[in-house]
Amino acid sequence: MTRISALIAAALSASGAQAFPAPRQANASWPGFGGLQYWFSFGDSYTQTGFDVNGTQPSADNPFGNPTYPGWTSSNGPNWVGYLTYKYNASLLQTYNLAYGGATVDSALVKPYADTVISLKQQVEDEFVPKYGSAAASKVWESDNTLFSVWIGINDVGNSYWSQNTTLIDAIFTQYSGLVEQLYTSGARNFLFLNVPPIERSPLTTGQGEDSVSLEKTAVADFNERITNLATSLEEKHADTSVFTFDTYTLFNQILDDPTSHTQTAALKNTTGYCTDYENGTSEQNTTVAACGVPVNEYFWLNTLHPTFPVHDAVASELSKQLSSCTNCTSTIRRRWQLTR
């Protein structure tokens, strides 16, 4: 191991993150961030923009397809998908965002808040595969110009952590891995996995007391370790993949501890609570209600669980740096977002 790699591994260990195997030979699947032309994203409300697979499709003139940018988000403004597509992109990036608010990996394993929620399983099997998969008539993307991202687990953890049911989590990841395999079979080669942020610090959990905070923190750590293992296993199983991981847990903690640690969040004033006058969104991104103390865009939390758009801006900014720094990079030890501050 080189001195730089050793320092990276030490930093990961100190921050509680998971280290990765040593670098391996680069493959042709990763075109560099600037070489991407298409992006398929999957997930929950942290990612959702309201895309309808039967509506207007992404194009050079309209990279989001539908709805109109920034779409229907949970951030009171653009979310990380919008920022990465329109602000931090290194090329024209046509984005197919199949994420759905409230999603879990599989609704049969962890029930979402409503039966109408489209799970990750449904996003892959019922929407992506028939509409955009390798056998689809409308397929326009290729393996070497497309990124596939998954940010899932917030609702899986939030709706199950109290049960401490490891058998359930095993089943979730068996399903998760199987869905990733389906994407691979359809031609996906460039993968991005985002882990679960510190939702134990959200008002939803802190309001339930210290026991809930402790239980959920443990559950998040376990879920994130499994995401690391999933990513590593995928790369080991398929030598022609490029697998990126992004540590939202560390990034969110940085911002919660010190909003000025990132330019995009430097104006945040309230990182612990939320204002009920803002919780369902506001007409303007800087709406001010006197009773709330500060404008909506100076809150970290829009409501009990969802961060405001400056946080998403920081996610996209850091992610773009990671993707841009790996032009010929295929080793996860280099591809994991690092704490540099």
Instruction: Give the model's pLDDT for residue 140.
Output: 96
Nearest to 313 by CA among 15, 54, 74, 87: 87
> Cα-atom radius of gyration of the chain, to the nearest Å?
19
Give the tens place of pLDDT for each residue, 63-73: 999 999 999 99
Number of domains observed in the structure of the chain: 1
* Residue 30, token pair as written in the block: 């990763």
Residue 74 DSSP label: S
pLDDT per residue as tens digits for the range 130-161: 999 998 888 999 999 999 999 999 999 999 99
- Checking if the pLDDT of 339 tops 70, the result is no
* pLDDT-based confidence at residue 16 (cuts at 50, 70, 90): very low
Q: Which residues partner with 183 through β-bridges?
A: none
Statement: residue 10 has pLDDT above 60: no
> What is residue 19's predicted lDDT score, i.e. its pLDDT?
34
* Per-residue model confidence as pLDDT tens digits over 101-112: 999 999 999 999
- Residue 340: Cβ within 10 Å count: 7
246 lies in which domain range? 26-332
Beta partners for residue 38, in sequence order: 94, 146
Question: pLDDT by residue (tens digit) across 184-240?
Answer: 999 999 999 999 999 999 999 999 999 999 999 999 999 999 999 999 999 999 999
List the one residue out of 229, 313, 221, 233 whose CA is nearest residue 265: 313
Q: Give the percent of the chain with pLDDT over 90.
A: 85
Residue 336: C-alpha distances to residues 20, 97, 185, 235, 300 (Å): 9, 23, 24, 13, 25
Structural domain contains residue 6? no
Q: Is residue 13 part of a domain?
A: no
Residues 127, 18 contacting (CB under 8 angstroms)? no
Note the pTM of the prediction, 2 decimals: 0.90
Report if residue 8 sits inside a domain. Answer: no
- What is the per-residue pLDDT for 336? 55
Q: What is the pLDDT of residues 295-307, one digit of tens each?
A: 999 999 999 999 9
> Residue 267: enclosing H or E segment and its boundaries?
none
Taking the alpha carbons at both ends of the chain, their separation in whole angstroms is: 23
Q: Residue 205 has which token pair? A: 């959990």
Tell me whether residue 17 is in a domain.
Answer: no
Contact yes or no for 175/109 (Cβ under 8 A): yes
Q: What pLDDT, on the 0 to 100 scale, is given for residue 326?
A: 75
219's tokens: 């559950």
Q: Give the pLDDT mean for 75-99.
A: 99
Q: Which has more confidence, 20 or 178?
A: 178
- Judge whether residue 81 has pLDDT over 60: yes
Q: Where are the beta strands (DSSP E) in the chain?
A: 38-43, 94-97, 146-151, 190-194, 242-246
What is the distance between the alpha carbons of residues 94 and 17, in angstroms, rounded to a whole number? 32
Could you tell me the CATH number of the domain that includes residue 287?
A: 3.40.50.1110
How much is the pLDDT for 210?
A: 98
Provide the CB-side half-sphere exposure for 164 (13 A, CA).
Answer: 6
Q: What token pair was written down for 174? A: 């068996």
